[in-house]
A and B are shown apart, each in its own frame.
Chain A
Amino acid sequence: MRTAAALTCYLIISCNLSSCADKNTPLTNPWTPSEWSLIQSLSLAALPQAADPSNRYLNDPQAIHLGSQLFFDQRLSANGQISCASCHQPEKFFNDGLKTAQGIGTGTRNTPSILGAAWNQWFFWDGRKDSLWSQTLGPLENPNEHNLARTKLAKLMLTDTHYQPAYQAIFGQAPQADAIQAWPEDARPSGTIEQIKAWKALSEQQRLSIDTVFANTGKALAAYVSTLKPVASRFDQYVAALQAGKTDAQLNPSELAGLRLFIDPKQQCLNCHSGPLFTNQSFHNIGTGEIGKDTGRAAIIDQIRLDRFNCLGPFSDAPAESCTKLQYMQRNRHQLIGAYKTPTLRNLGNTAPYFHNGSKQTLADILDHYMHSTEIKAGRADLKPISLTTEEKQALIAFLNTLNAAKP
């Protein structure tokens, strides 16, 4: 079977080389086979289907619809003024343009765009969540974001005249009305002393019922967010055109020079920014951590393992043996100090400011960091300083801007 597939590919190659090509179409490809392989591996067309075995509702149309309504609903916050879309604004590529997130309070991390989030392996800058549905639960309870009590959310889902039938149609059985009424309005396992006391006063069965609604709400939100994919950019159009032997989607000389620099091992870009989303989904120290203040992934290792809503937890739909990334995750804190998740570069020019703390305003600032950071020069990061002339910097920025695309 595979041999047949290989033979087919061979024939396609031969075909492209000779008789099958349209002789009237000018074929121009400036890349060597090695370079061309690398370039094609970055194309959005190479992105596989998103999957999450821990969320069986990921592709459920009803769950997607419910999630889309929840995403924009400001009732999912303590003050009734914050929704997911407050920070993940569709008109700003699901970003907010701020240095750090502004919800009910001010956060400490830059809001990432969630276009393509369904393909992430880990979630948040430090990867403290191992699935998209579990990630969505974090901001709902975060005091600086939605600051929503878990019981308040569960009651809303099960009593709102619109959400209740939608919830029941998707997730089936829900607690009886008298059981829901017995839940306190303002109880959660973390928060104020009063909120925690109210949570602890609940029976184990009550907490399980509330947590089930909480998790299902996250699964519906994740189903919607999974539909948010990056749109093909000029770079993708360029690759597609070359694959078809056409010349109708050219990059200009500066952009091409930037692409050449980007795939050049000397610049180290592809070490981390690989694949169709320009991220290796891994964690690296690029010299932006702040000892004593924000140590990145090193600070949250136990939090992931002990998370009730992780892949191995009671609300996951995944068989335990499929939770390999969680089971074998790196737990050596010394290795992970100052490490943050490699972000996507798609729509980079539309999603400033940059880095986990929003400390860089422009693409030039980012390149300056990689060239001149004292942390990188001191060998305390996962890369060596890069060297670029002024023209090369401009070319690299020009290429990075070819990854900008239309809003989805």
Chain B
Amino acid sequence: MIKNTLLLTSLVFALAACKIESTTAANEPAWQLSQTSTHGLFKVNLLCRHSPSVGPFQDCQVEIQDGQGQAINEAKISIDGGMPSHGHGLPTAPVASSLDGQGHYRIDGLQYNMPGPWLLGFIIKTAAGQDKVIFSFEISNVEQAACAQQPHLPAT
């Protein structure tokens, strides 16, 4: 009975996580990370429609502000990343392009090909200078597998 209850609870939580992501609009990200750039020039928010996952192209944006919280609109952004623990980079070459003139940049072509610890870095160039920010996060294959299919409960 206790085992059943625990199983049910864990699966309901997993299901809830999937549901939240699938009903969230692009401008209400289900997953986000925020960080100040290495030399403090920019505050960068990485906003994604879903938690990072192996396989599909990711639906993400970056939002860039200066130290006073003002939107940066004309930045040139380069994207790189990879899995240092595996010695390889991103499987694709994503690009960022200005989206709305309010400091948001759309990311196209971002993909991950393995579960595990990833780095995703942005080099940001503006008239005020250049700085970089590197986000660090983990992709869980368990969560991905749970969200990718109909939930079948293991018989006990």
Enumerate chain A interface residues (CB-CB to B < 8 A).
2-3, 6, 9-10, 12-14, 16-18, 21, 27-29, 31, 33-34, 36-38, 40-41, 46, 242-243, 245, 265, 270-272, 274-275, 280-285, 324-325, 327-332, 335, 379-383
Contacts and interface: CB of A to CB of B under 8 A. Distances in A.
A282 B141 contact: no
B108 A46 contact: no
B11 A324 contact: no
Contacts of A285: 88
A41 B148 contact: yes
A17 B91 contact: no
B136 interface: no
B10 A13 contact: no
A151 B149 CA distance: 47
A330 B91 contact: yes
B146 interface: yes
B15 A2 contact: no
B141 A33 contact: no
A335 B89 contact: yes
Given A41-B145, A41-B148, A328-B94, A14 B8 contact: yes
A3 to B, nearest CB: 7
A176 B113 CA distance: 48
11 contacts: A3-B19, A3-B23, A12-B151, A29-B156, A33-B11, A37-B142, A38-B141, A38-B145, A265-B115, A270-B141, A271-B115
B95 A13 contact: no
B54 interface: yes
Contacts of A274: 54, 115, 141
Which interface class (under 10, 10 to 19, 20 to 34, 35 or more) fits B?
35 or more
Contacts of A383: 86
Contacts of B4: 17-18
Nearest to B111: A328
Contacts of B54: 274, 280
Contacts of A271: 86, 114-116
Contacts of B10: 33
Interface string B90-123: 1111110000000000001111011110000000
Given A2-B19, A272-B114, A330-B92, A245 B155 contact: yes
A262 to B, nearest CB: 12
Nearest to A332: B89
A271 B55 CA distance: 12
A55 B115 CA distance: 31
Given A280-B54, A335-B89, A37 B145 contact: yes
Contacts of A325: 92
B156 A270 contact: no
B89 A330 contact: yes
Contacts of B142: 34, 37-38
Contacts of A265: 115-116
Given A13-B153, A271-B115, A274-B54, A382 B86 contact: yes
A46 B150 CA distance: 9
Interface of B: 4, 7-8, 10-12, 14-16, 18-19, 22-23, 54-55, 57, 82, 86-95, 108-111, 113-116, 141-142, 144-146, 148-156
Nearest to B140: A34
Contacts of A27: 155-156
B50 to A, nearest CB: 13
A280 B113 contact: yes
Contacts of B149: 37, 40-41, 46
Nearest to B5: A17
Contacts of B116: 265, 271
A165 B74 CA distance: 58
Nearest to A121: B55
Contacts of B146: 33-34, 37
Contacts of A14: 8
List the 5 closest A-B pairs by CB distance, nearest first.
Answer: A328-B109, A27-B155, A41-B145, A29-B154, A282-B113
Given A33-B154, A37-B145, A331-B93, A379 B15 contact: no
B155 A29 contact: yes
Given A271-B114, A332-B89, A46 B148 contact: yes
A382 B88 contact: yes
A380 to B, nearest CB: 8
A327 B114 CA distance: 21
B38 to A, nearest CB: 22
Contact of A284 (B23, B57, B88, B150): B88
Contact of B109 (A10, A38, A41, A324): A324
Given A3-B23, A331-B93, 12 more contacts: A13-B153, A16-B153, A21-B155, A27-B156, A40-B145, A271-B114, A324-B109, A328-B57, A328-B108, A379-B87, A380-B87, A382-B86
B65 to A, nearest CB: 26
Given A2-B22, A383-B86, A242 B141 contact: no
B92 A329 contact: yes
Nearest to A244: B155
Contacts of B12: 10, 13
B28 to A, nearest CB: 15
